[in-house]
Amino acid sequence: MSSTQQNEALVRRLFEEVWNENKMDMAEEIIHDGYRSSENITFASERGIKVLAADINFYREMYSDLNFQIKRMFSQGDTVVTVWQASGVATNEFFTDRAGNERNKELRAEGVSLSEIVDGKIIESGLYWPRYPLFP
């Protein structure tokens, strides 16, 4: 397997096993000790798996059943670009349907992730998606 394929496999595991299946023990295998995130949920000086855990907890509190489906990936050097669709149900955003019932809004968003790989592990990652990705 080429280094490009290995890098893309790491990022695929991040989405499928860690984000989608919430397997944080798997994250220890693929996340670099110096990991940082553009989400900036923790202190800017904090590094490592705690940063990823904070990001995941933040989004899981906002969206139940959060799921990322990878549409395509491509790489240049040690950077992996992932195009994905996210789905889930907002836990604190509601709308009133035509029958007058209050319902949770649904998350349907397309986005892009940039991930940097160092020493065979993900050292940086960020999710870039619409500011208001919720729909009734």
More confident residue, 78 or 135: 78
Is residue 125 classed exposed, middle or buried when 0-12, 13-18 and 19+ CB atoms within 10 A define those classes? buried
Residue extents of the structural domains in the chain:
3-128
- The residues, ordered by sequence, that sit 6+ positions from 39 with a Cβ below 8 Å of its Cβ are 55, 58, 126, 127
Q: Which fold has domain 3-128?
A: Nuclear Transport Factor 2; Chain: A, (3.10.450)
Residue 82: name the closest of 126, 108, 37, 112 by CA.
112
> Which pLDDT belongs to residue 2?
80
pLDDT surpassing 70 at residue 114: yes
> Which pLDDT belongs to residue 134?
67
Which pTM was predicted? 0.87
Of the pLDDT bands very low, low, confident and very high (cuts 50, 70, 90), residue 30 is: very high
What are the tens digits of pLDDT across the range 71-112?
A: 999 999 999 999 999 999 999 988 888 999 999 999 999 999
Using CA atoms, how far apart are residues 62 and 55, in angstroms rounded to an integer?
Answer: 11
Q: DSSP secondary structure string, 39-85?
A: T--S-TT--SHHHHHHHHHHHHHHEEEEEEEEEEEEEETTEEEEEEE
> Which pLDDT belongs to residue 94?
87
Using CA atoms, how far apart are residues 6 and 62, in angstroms rounded to an integer?
Answer: 32
Half-sphere exposure of 7 (CA within 13 A, CB side): 22
Residue 109: name the closest of 84, 92, 91, 89 by CA.
84
What are the tens digits of pLDDT across the range 37-76?
A: 887 666 677 899 999 999 999 999 999 999 999 999 999 9
Is residue 23 classed exposed, middle or buried when 0-12, 13-18 and 19+ CB atoms within 10 A define those classes? middle
